[in-house]
Amino acid sequence: MNALYMRPMTTELNTNFPFMKMHGLGNDFVVLDARAQGLALAPALIQRIADRNRGVGFDQLAVISNGKHNVHLTFYNADGSTSAACGNATRCVARYLMTGSGETQLTLTTDRGTLQAQDIGDGLTAINMGPPQLDWRDIPLAQDVDTLTLPIDGAPTATGMGNPHCTFFVADAEAVDLAQRGAEMEHHPLFPNRTNVQFASLIGPNLLRMRVWERGVGVTLASGSSSCAAAVAAARRGLTDHSVQIDLDGGRLLVDWRSDGVWMTGPTSHVFDGQFTAAFLDEETV
């Protein structure tokens, strides 16, 4: 490996390690910039930071480290588990990096692969989340089934976007008991790595109303990878074209499934910066 891209020695999180709070449509993140020094995070500490009453609160935690092109992003869910993809967090970090450099486009990597980001003006940031994974082995599923209509009540569609997704098309997304149905489906045996769950309704030409349950998190106001998965599923089922608008609880995302991947566009927000106290970092997990 080129010495330029060798990751520095890891260190534990300390009071001198600042964090950023960001969100995309209310899908919120704690972001740690670990390019100057690597970072080791215990799952118990991640869970404490995620706690909305006793910590900072987030849907995902994103760690920025040195990467082959520019930076590499690593994502953690609120329960301490990892995720290879997080579309809205990727857009937030891309906006932060482009604002700092003055560039309008950049390349970064995640465990999903190499992704392209663009500042398209009017406060909107676009990210290419890569081609969708449509084969059952790649999503992954526990067995060989038709990913377009799964053998599950409601006949949802399975899609991989670096993480697994299960999309239900329903008459009224508002009427779904999201907390109950999402929790049930996250742990369905057909998904060995658990799954993100979406309930979407077609409310106009190429316009979906969608609500999201994220694995390892729960109900969330928005989800970038979920929006990409739902757009792909809707196009595969002939409900929409390849370019759609998706109205989530937190706002609207634009998704365009192109030949080079699934592009997602929307606003981002850098809310505040902070530092952890020594007392918080030294807490015993209870």
Residue-wise pLDDT for 191-239, tens only, equals 999 999 999 999 999 999 999 999 999 999 999 999 999 999 999 999 9
For the CA atoms of 229, 41, 26, 117, what is the dihedral angle to 10 degrees?
-60
d(CA 91, CA 253): 12
Integer angstrom CA distances of residue 30 from 56, 80, 274: 8, 13, 10
Integer angstrom CA distances of residue 58 from 44, 53, 85: 14, 11, 16
If DSSP codes are grouped into helix, strand and coil, which group holds residue 44?
helix
d(CA 170, CA 192): 25
| Region 165-178 average pLDDT | 98
Is the omega angle on the peptide bond into residue 205 within 30 degrees of 0, that is, cis? no
Task: Quick: pLDDT tens for 59-114.
Answer: 999 999 998 768 999 999 999 999 999 999 999 999 999 999 999 999 999 999 99
pLDDT of 7 higher than 70 = no
Task: Quick: pLDDT tens for 243-260.
Answer: 999 999 999 999 999 999
How many other CB atoms sit within 10 Å of the CB of residue 114?
Answer: 14
Token match 């899908």: residue?
27
- Two structure tokens written together for 272: 């505040």
d(CA 211, CA 169): 11
Task: Quick: pLDDT tens for 20-62.
Answer: 999 999 999 999 999 988 888 999 999 999 999 999 999 999 9
Fold match between domain 3-127+269-281 and domain 157-259: yes
Beta bridge partners of residue 261, listed in sequence order: 258
Domain map (residue ranges) of the chain: 3-127+269-281, 157-259
pTM surpassing 0.85? yes
For residue 16, the model assigns a pLDDT of 78
d(CA 20, CA 18): 7
3-127+269-281 topology per CATH: Diaminopimelate Epimerase; Chain A, domain 1 (3.10.310)
Instruction: Tell me which CATH code domain 157-259 carries.
Output: 3.10.310.10
As to burial, measured by CB atoms within 10 angstroms (0-12 exposed, 13-18 middle, 19+ buried), residue 122 is exposed
